[in-house]
Amino acid sequence: MLKTLLSLTLFLLSLAASLAAQTTTTVSRPPASSEASPADELARRGPSSRTPDASEAARFPEPESGAVDRDVYANPYFALSYRLPQGWTESLKGPPPSDTGYYVLSSLKTAESTPGSNGMILISAWDMFFLPRPAGNPLGLLQDMKETLSPVYVLEMPPKEIKVGNHSFARFGYTAAELHWQVLVTEVRCHFVEFAFVGRDTELLDGLVQGMNTLKLPPEAEVAAKDSAGFPACVKDYASGDNVLHKVDPVMAGPRFTSVPVRIIIGADGRVKHIHVIHAFPDQARSVEDALAQWVFKPYRRNGVAREVETGILFKFPADEEKLPPVKETY
């Protein structure tokens, strides 16, 4: 009797275990209010921007200012718009831009009501002026990605150049853990704009890549020329050497040994028209903005005509040559 009861018990336990692999569970979540921490408002690192002539502020969107509205992700900085695939929705917000000029522009997911076809789309951008691993073009970025891929991934599509609509992209595909990735990258305003698609279903992914044909980007010729009427030219290291006629160094602020990447737009008159501090503590951002507003540059010229130019500067706190007294370690 005892033996039978024990056998039955173990049988039921194993049945429960096998069922466990097929059914869902609900893990209790902290209340939504836990997302709204008052702590969050204090001294957070992030972006900041200033347009000295406030009347022109609307002319200068930032890379992070895109949003999903009525099933379209629109980003005025990149003049990009992407219609969300049917049944997809915006997911959690990504982090603010990083100190290497990396942006999570938008994260998209399949709606909860479509189990079995779950996937993700991550739209992101790298500022080419601050890349931690330099790459000259989208294909170079993906080739570098391929070379450093973990052995867990299996190559499905080596990096290659393709056309999406009328735009040049580089594309790369790989798989692991029954998931498949398709990564497409293009270049806009000296940024690599990246679409990463991931899911279990290769047909789903192929459909998503096909759907990229509806993507709207600035005309390729304008991007290539880098000085169209729509965009300022983007020129690496323009704010250096003889191009700088007058400069004021930022005052040391915030934690030491931190870097602050900044993009500025210089007007045809050589004055700073817009400052975008990509990643800084608030007092560092103020210091940089106050200083840069006073800089004067030699006007950028193309074909003999002075034009607006966009460039990047990396400020270090403290500057390399700056000597400061020691600080107490914090615990």
List the interface residues with other proteins, window 214-243 (CB under 8 A). none
Residue with smaller CB distance to other proteins, 19 or 229: 19
Selected range binding other proteins among 51-59, 158-166, 191-199, 262-270, rule: CB under 8 A: 191-199
Among the listed residues 52, 65, 83, 149, the single contact to other proteins using CB under 8 A: 149
Q: How far is the CB of 256 from other proteins (least distance, A)?
A: 4
Q: Using the rule CB under 8 A, is 73 a contact of other proteins? A: no
Give the integer Cα–Cα distance in Å for 274 and 112: 41
Spell out the residues 6+ positions from residue 170 whose beta carbon is closer than 8 angstroms to its own: 137, 138, 139, 141, 142, 159, 160, 161, 162, 184, 185, 186
Among the listed residues 70, 86, 113, 177, the single contact to other proteins using CB under 8 A: 177
Selected range binding other proteins among 17-25, 155-163, 220-228, 244-252, rule: CB under 8 A: 17-25
Q: Using the rule CB under 8 A, is 93 a contact of other proteins? A: yes
Selected range binding other proteins among 101-109, 162-170, 206-214, 268-276, rule: CB under 8 A: 101-109
List the interface residues with other proteins, window 238-297 (CB under 8 A). 255-258, 281
Selected range binding other proteins among 198-206, 241-249, 267-275, 298-306, rule: CB under 8 A: 198-206
Among the listed residues 56, 71, 95, 160, the single contact to other proteins using CB under 8 A: 95
Q: Please give the backbone phi and psi of residue 80, each rounded to the nearest 5 degrees, phi first.
A: -115, 140
Give the integer Cα–Cα distance in Å for 75 and 63: 7
Give the integer Cα–Cα distance in Å for 137 and 161: 11
Q: Rounded to the nearest 10 degrees, how much is the dihedral formed by the CA atoms of 128, 142, 109, 105?
A: 0
Strand (E) or helix (H) holding 222: helix 220-225
Give the integer Cα–Cα distance in Å for 314 and 238: 12
Residue with smaller CB distance to other proteins, 2 or 58: 2
* Range 86-121 burial, b when 16+ CB lie within 10 A, else e: eebeeeeebeebbbbbbbbbbbbbbeeeeeeeebbb
Q: Using the rule CB under 8 A, is 134 a contact of other proteins? A: no
Among the listed residues 152, 241, 303, 321, the single contact to other proteins using CB under 8 A: 152
Q: How far is the CB of 96 from other proteins (least distance, A)?
A: 7
User: In the numeric block, which tokens belong to residue 288?
Assistant: 């940089």
Residue with smaller CB distance to other proteins, 38 or 241: 38
Strand (E) or helix (H) holding 10: helix 2-20
Q: Using the rule CB under 8 A, is 4 a contact of other proteins? A: no
Q: How far is the CB of 227 from other proteins (least distance, A)?
A: 27
Q: Closest by alpha carbon to 285, among 256, 251, 310? A: 251
Selected range binding other proteins among 70-78, 144-152, 224-232, 267-275, rule: CB under 8 A: 144-152
Q: Closest by alpha carbon to 314, among 244, 250, 218? A: 250
User: In the numeric block, which tokens belong to residue 178?
Assistant: 């029954």
Q: Using the rule CB under 8 A, is 34 a contact of other proteins? A: yes
Q: How far is the CB of 305 from other proteins (least distance, A)?
A: 36
Among the listed residues 55, 86, 113, 150, the single contact to other proteins using CB under 8 A: 150
Q: How far is the CB of 249 from other proteins (least distance, A)?
A: 19
Give the integer Cα–Cα distance in Å for 138 and 154: 21
Among the listed residues 200, 222, 228, 271, the single contact to other proteins using CB under 8 A: 200
